[in-house]
Amino acid sequence: MTQRTPLERELLQKAAQFLPGSSNGNTKYPDQLDFLVKEGRGGRIWDVSGNEYVDWLMGSGPMILGHAHPAVTDAVLSAVSRGSTFFANNDQAVLLAEDLVNAVPCAEKVRFTTSGTDATFQAMRAARAYTGKEKILKFEGGYHGTHDYAMMSVFASAAVEFPQAEANTAGIPDSLSDLMLISQFNDLDTTAAIVAAHKDEIAAIITEPLQRTIAPEPGFLEGLRKITADAGILLIFDEIVTGFRLAYGGAQEYYGVTPDLCTVGKIMGGGYPLAALMGSAEVMSVYDRGAVASDSYVDQIGTLNGNPVACAAGLATLEVLRQEGTYDRLRHVGGSIRRALAGACEEQGFTVQSVGEDGIFDIFFAEDPVRNYRDGLAADTEPLGKLNAGLLERGVLKSWPQKFYPSVVHTDEDIDRTIEAIREVAPTLRG
């Protein structure tokens, strides 16, 4: 068991005293394994007690260049020296918007926000404003942040029939459930039937092109594009996670399907609070008071939208990602861990489903393929919990309960240490 210094134990007690649930609402580990991060460099982090971890959580995805990357750190220090925020257009935001438009297929205009939650909320609002319709279709298990509309059928019981929505947090007005329609990921027939029945009410379909760790089946995203185009509704890709991870142009480039709108965050902010909504100039005109009628104009104000420090971090990150071989390295790192993980569990007699892509992945302990959220509910969570705990005890950190986020700076030593830990833990997963 990892040792805790008196200082870290004291700080953990303060966390319990001052933070609801002892956390900021993000990853919280079991009490006996809980720790406080003090610093990170490259593909590793250290807790307050000085214990070292190979980090596959990577800030829940933003740190594709690792912690404290010199290019990003230098850009941030330079930006901070010029001021923190201005509540006015700034050069760094304009330059980052240009890079985003040049990178992402659907992007002609950019509107910055400070979080993925805000970006997906804006995407839904913009779709409603543009189409004049009120309902949004999302997929069961899809995560689009924590605003009221997004928190429908994320952690669903699977006890209701499609397209009924199910609120998954307290505090959401009952009336909002009528504005969200729910379908099943990788199920074009169900989705097409819902759209046909409600096309006069639906403003948009929003989806993670890779839902959590579940990849789209061949033809699914292409089918969504056709369904939405035929029905005259918008297609929104939530690329907060997949943007600049699956490819430089995101899932749109990787899978070859272009939506009307998309959201990006995490990687494009270089680890700082930044996200954006992007799309065609026509749809994004709802943010231009001089371009649309007053009843179609969307008023969006944020004190830290396009923050110059965050945008400087984003510019530096994207510059590094454009270097030759970057994504080959990312796929090598992720693929090495992905194959070792599935192989070690299968050697112990488990049937596992390796899901995702080499840039973001995990396994389900399940007999049948996992194509959607409901398939995932049939998986055995006990060995996964033991796997996560066993890795953490051996100094290997991943998202809890699921996801590995490889980075381009994870070293061969990081890979070897992780594979060694996986092989040590795998024989302990039964019983």
Tens digit of each residue's pLDDT (9 = 90 or more) over 138-179: 999 999 999 999 999 999 888 899 999 999 999 999 999 999
Q: pTM to 2 decimals? A: 0.97
Long-range contacts from 148-154, C-beta under 8 angstroms, 24+ separation: 148/172, 148/173, 148/176, 149/121, 149/124, 149/176, 149/179, 149/180, 150/117, 150/120, 150/121, 152/176, 152/177, 152/180, 152/182, 153/180, 153/182
Helical spans, DSSP H, in 67-147? 70-80, 91-103, 116-131
Which of 238, 358, 375, 414 is flagged as catalytic?
238
143 is catalytic: yes
Task: Return the pLDDT at 356.
Answer: 98
Which of 109, 133, 138, 266 is flagged as catalytic?
266
- The model's pLDDT over 180-198, given as tens digits with 9 standing for 90+, comes to 999 999 999 999 999 999 9
Task: Return the pLDDT at 29.
Answer: 82
Task: Return the pLDDT at 270.
Answer: 96
Q: 10 Å Cβ neighbour count for 292?
A: 15
Distance CA 187, CA 78 (A): 48
Task: Return the pLDDT at 1.
Answer: 57
Sign of the four-CA dihedral 307, 313, 316, 322: negative
State the chain's mean pLDDT as an integer.
96
Which of 53, 130, 143, 327 is flagged as catalytic?
143
Distances 219 to 24, 68, 143, 228, 261 between C-alpha atoms, Å: 39, 39, 22, 14, 20
Distance CA 77, CA 312 (A): 9
Give the domains, in start order, of the chain with CATH numbers.
6-68+325-428 (3.90.1150.10), 70-321 (3.40.640.10)
Does 431 have pLDDT greater than 80?
Answer: no
> What is the average per-residue pLDDT within 21-48?
92
- pLDDT band, very low/low/confident/very high, at 30 (cuts 50, 70, 90): confident
How do strand 135-139 and strand 202-207 relate by DSSP bridges?
Answer: parallel
Task: Return the pLDDT at 33.
Answer: 87
Orientation angle between helical segments 326-347 and 308-321, nearest 10 degrees: 80
> What is the average per-residue pLDDT within 279-305?
96
8 A C-beta contact, residue 232 and residue 283: no
Distance CA 351, CA 218 (A): 23
238 is catalytic: yes
Task: Return the pLDDT at 27.
Answer: 80
> What is the average per-residue pLDDT within 60-81?
98
Q: Structure tokens of 142? A: 């899809």
Does 362 have pLDDT greater than 80?
Answer: yes
Task: Return the pLDDT at 390.
Answer: 96
Q: Structure tokens of 282? A: 């026509």
327 is catalytic: no
> What is the average per-residue pLDDT within 94-101?
98
Does 349 have pLDDT greater than 60?
Answer: yes
Q: Is 14 left (phi over 0), alpha (psi -120 to 50) or beta?
A: alpha
DSSP assignments along 34-85, one per residue: ---EEEEEBTEEEETT--EEEESSGGGTT-TT-BT-HHHHHHHHHHHTT-S-
Task: Return the pLDDT at 237.
Answer: 99
